[in-house]
Chains A and B, each alone.
Chain A
Amino acid sequence: MTTLFYIAGAVAIIATIMVVTRSQLVHALLYLVISLFAVAVVFFTLGAPFVAALEVIVYAGAIMMVFVFAVMLLDVRAQKPPRIPGSAWAGPLALIVVLLAEVVYGITLQNHALAAGSVGPQQVSAALFGPYVLGVELASMLLLAALIGARHIAAEPMDAPAGEAGAGAASAAAGLDEAPDAPPAPEGVQG
């Protein structure tokens, strides 16, 4: 398990670095998907299979799809985007080296082993319907707000090509709860 953890961790790190450094947008998004998969494996090695599945389904599945849809809608030209000069990384790298160093230092001040055994879906669901039920309700309201907000923001006065993006987001998050029905939009939305 630990070796799997380390391998998956390494893949995640490398993939994330690739996300950040690719100049082609679609390449970056694909590398992000890989990173998310690797993190799901990490979850699994930590004894959290439920969130591992969720990671794949929701994050790598739905959210990344939304990204891809957006890229498609934004009609990004396929010309060669300009390379970012190496000197642009200098400042940020210095900053994160400092940040990482002190965070790692703080982390390593003490250490514990993780609990053995995995925490399965039953336990998580019991927690969700138990003490965290209020959080669940709030999350659903949040999603509703996001849905409506996204639709309004993206809509143009004439036509609203972004209505599907809002609907896509809503459906992506609807895997948890009852799907809130999309309220009818007064202005000329697509039928």
Chain B
Amino acid sequence: MATVSLNSGLILAAILFVIGFVGLITRRNLIVVLACIEIMLNAAGLAFVVAGARWGRADGQVMFLFVLAMAAAEVAVGLALAIRFRQTLGRLDIDEADEMRG
């Protein structure tokens, strides 16, 4: 099969990452924010896999696995926090949590 070039994969990863980032700093709904974090992690993992495919080795995929495990753990804790957040502040707007100002 004709192969993709390294740059195409990396650029795809970069685009996905950046889209996730813009969503992160623009959206105020906490769940959407967590989803954007997932997007960014996914994009990072894609970059790893592309890098591994460049050399034809398994290391990239292994890294992707670890990233996946970490993402899962993070989602678990993050959503637990989201529940707490909702219970305390009544809404899922992250702008409400601004007591760390000053």
Contact = CB atoms under 8 A, between A and B. Distances in A.
**Genuine A/B complex:** yes
A80 interface: no
A142 B49 contact: no
A5 B61 CA distance: 18
Given A63-B71, A93-B22, A112 B54 contact: yes
A81 B30 CA distance: 13
The majority secondary structure among interface residues of chain B is helix
A96 B21 contact: yes
B2 A1 contact: yes
Given A16-B19, A146-B72, A48 B61 contact: yes
Contacts of B61: 48, 50-51, 119, 124, 127
B6 to A, nearest CB: 5
Interface residues of B, number: 71
Contact of B18 (A35, A100, A142): A100
A114 B92 contact: no
Size band of the A side of the interface? Answer: 35 or more
Nearest to A172: B72
Contacts of B29: 25, 81
A58 B77 contact: no
A78 interface: no
B21 A1 contact: no
Interface of B: 1-12, 14-16, 18-23, 25-29, 31-32, 34-36, 38-39, 42, 45-46, 49-50, 52-62, 64-66, 68-77, 79-84, 86-87, 92
Given A115-B55, A117-B56, 15 more contacts: A5-B4, A19-B32, A20-B19, A47-B53, A50-B61, A54-B68, A67-B34, A92-B26, A104-B11, A112-B5, A114-B53, A119-B61, A126-B58, A135-B66, A166-B80
